[in-house]
Structure 1
């Protein structure tokens, strides 16, 4: 088998891709370098220099001051639960609107789109009053409910347009074969639309993980707060040094990077399985 000879254009494209990757990774690299510096190294040599002495003092400081394991667990529980619930709601709503052809579905989708454009600031006071009356204020459940609805609104709008163009011949064949609505959704629609659903799941998780405004207004107790709130607390302290701030930022984004890398493999498997089916 002859070896393929690469042209100059191939190497040029590869070089440009490597340069683009380095540009994209540069902020993360600098964040990691500054997180491993001592305050003295940072003050004497600046943020672009390599650490003279590798130090984990900033990471340890943020870890202990904010009770990072508790904040991490809170963020993971909220983001993971919201991602699952929002995906389920999006699929069920979109199946009813896009394939079930609910009467007035276009108006419903338009209403959902307009509601999705509403700024979060306009929701704070009504939601505060509502959850205060129900005794859910300062609980993780309140954040899960709020963001499950917000994220599912976007997911419903996106999936409805996808399911609206679903091949009718496949659905009619399933109906002739005696498949119920639930069987059609589970055995036909979900396998084909799994790549889109997987992308939504990743987006919902990352978006919820990074949310700050609504959790800040609803999570008052330290034991229920999330990582973005812990990062804001550290930034508000006057004794904050740049290395601790870099360590805090690094620790706050590493979980989402790991989650995305792990789920990227699952996403590729889902695309391959959908193509085979």
Structure 2
């Protein structure tokens, strides 16, 4: 008697798995999704209160408190903040400082890490350890030396002083990160470039830089956002109204015994918009950079 054998289809084994396994895996995904959604909603609660109180009059705020619903759509707080602190000028100062620090910090980090991670620098581990130690120093311990040096060299109350300070601070972290990455860089690529007659600068810009581009893009975004949110050093270094940044201008709305809560919330709302727009514009770049770093 002839027996006919039917070849198994490629997806037969996968479809023959028990249904309870698929149900268990699907239930776990829904649980994780619910927890992530709940965490996101909890993080959005302060922003919801800020949005609610930004369009609330001082009378409504003093009567009903921060949790009450406004009785009218109050926009005077937005106009007051825009005109009193000269928001366009503060926006330009913050953008100039944060953008300059992001670009310069990435360039300095790349050059330092190239020398430490690929170059033959003696005491490389000790130097990388010093950069790691520099990241642990609080700004409160650095503020007086920075203030004294800025006074002595004539850079106090200038945007250049803040750009130089934060370039050094941010590049310390960038150097530590990139030096660790370049320490595991494939030597075969470097040897092939050397055999082709490439010099050190050619190797840096033609071999190393293209491979590190996603990581450098992530550093650029982080440096911009970190510098944008800085408060203590700009508060001490920038005392003139024409050089101050947005966080310093927002703090100027508060007095010793009096605070206009609706105007402060309106100012915080306006100040948050540029950072959110920057993150949304470069969100895809950030995701690609993190994914590329995970794959490497």
Q: Same fold (TM over 0.5)?
A: yes
Separation in 2, partners of 1:140, 1:266: 28
Corresponding residue number in structure 2 for 1:182: 201
**2:221 is equivalent to residue 202 of structure 1:** yes
**1:68 equivalenced with 2:71 (yes/no):** no
> How far, CA to CA, are the matches of 1:275 and 1:209 in structure 2?
27
1:110 aligns with 2:129: yes
Compute the displacement of 1:20 (Å).
2.2
- How far the C-alpha of 1:45 sits from its partner, in A, is 2.9
How far residue 9 of structure 1 moved from its aligned partner, in angstroms, is: 4.0
Choose from 217, 222, 245 the match for 2:236. Answer: 217
2:293 is equivalent to residue 266 of structure 1: no
Distance across 2 between alignment mates of 1:42 and 1:109: 52
Gap change, CA 1:153 and 1:22, over 3 Å in 2? same
Q: Which residue is 1:13 aligned to?
A: 32
Aligned residue among 68, 73, 76 for 1:49: 68
User: What is the CA deviation profile of residues 145-193 of structure 1, one whole-angstrom value per residue up to 9, with x for unaligned ones?
Assistant: 1111111111111111111111212222222233322222223222222
| Aligned residues: CA RMSD | 2.6
TM-score normalized with structure 2 length: 0.83
Instruction: Give the TM-score normalised by structure 1.
Output: 0.89
CA spacing shift, 1:237–1:201, aligned 2, 3 Å: same
- Alignment size in residue pairs: 274
SS in 1 for 2:137: coil
Structure 2 counterpart SS, 1:234 = coil
Larger radius of gyration: 2
- The answer as to 2:175 corresponding to 1:156 is yes
Query: How far apart, in 1, do the equivalents of 2:27 and 2:294 lie?
Result: 34
Unaligned runs of 5+ residues in structure 1 are none
For residues 132 and 224 of structure 2, the distance between their equivalents in structure 1, rounded to whole angstroms, comes to 20
1:275 CA displacement: 10
What is aligned with 2:57?
38
For residues 269 and 151 of structure 1, the distance between their equivalents in structure 2, rounded to whole angstroms, comes to: 22
Give the C-alpha shift of residue 125 in structure 1.
2.8
Contact 2:157 2:237 in 1 (8 A): yes
Corresponding residue for 2:110? 91
**TM-fit CA distance, 1:271:** 6.5
